[in-house]
Amino acid sequence: MTESTANREIVVTRLFDAPRDLVFQMWTDPKHIVQWWGPKGFTSTIYEMDVKPGGVWRFVMHGPDGVDYQNKVVYLEIVRPERIVYSHVSGPQFQMTVTLSEDGDKTRLTAQMLFESASLRDRVVKEFGAVEGLKQTLGRLQEYLEKMEALDSSRYEKSESSTS
């Protein structure tokens, strides 16, 4: 019998109007993730990102208040294009599981942060605003996907008008 983890986790689900392969790429390509990672007002600098089991992602999140947050992640499982599992080994420690499923021509993403204890989860929610932060981060991903789609559309329109 397994114990429920509900009191030790943060789970956010979001539907993206983009194909699953593209959403997966946004999570695994440093040139993309640097464009949207973190809550509103944050920017990121990526030092290394080796997306494979045992690979490391080291980055710093620059807060809007000028505070830098050093982060280190170790990837545990990569199943292209449906699942990414990693351990956030710098404080606060947690395991993140990102699951991507097709929903028609859209992608349903579920992000689960699993903490060692309910008290650590509660502290991260209170001190770092983790629930809202995760929602804002996924919102920034949505905005980035929409911007990419608009750029692709304008390129297509330009190429169409230049061939007429």
Does residue 115 form part of some domain? yes
Does residue 2 form part of some domain? no
Number of domains into which the chain is organized: 1
The pLDDT value given to residue 1: 43
Domain carrying residue 16: 7-156
Q: With 60 as the cut, is the pLDDT of residue 2 above it?
A: no
Contact between residue 112 and residue 97 where contact means Cβ atoms under 8 Å apart: yes
Residue 149's pLDDT band (cuts 50, 70, 90): confident
Does residue 162 form part of some domain? no
Question: pTM here?
Answer: 0.89
Residue 69's pLDDT band (cuts 50, 70, 90): very high
Does residue 164 form part of some domain? no
Q: What's the chain's average pLDDT? A: 93
Q: What strands lie across the sheet with 83-88, from one edge to the other?
A: 9-16, 106-114, 94-103, 83-88, 68-79, 56-62, 43-49
CB < 8 Å & 24+ apart, contacts of 124-130: 124/10, 124/92, 124/94, 125/10, 128/92, 129/39, 130/10
CATH number reported for the structural domain that contains residue 57 in this entry: 3.30.530.20
pLDDT, one tens digit per residue, over 20-60 is: 999 999 999 999 999 999 999 999 999 999 999 999 999 99
Does residue 163 form part of some domain? no
Does residue 76 form part of some domain? yes
Does residue 48 form part of some domain? yes
Does residue 132 form part of some domain? yes
User: Could you give the percent of the chain with pLDDT greater than 90?
Assistant: 87
pLDDT, one tens digit per residue, over 89-124 is: 998 999 999 999 999 999 999 999 999 999 999 999
Q: Cα dihedral angle (111, 52, 16, 136), rounded to 10 degrees?
A: 50
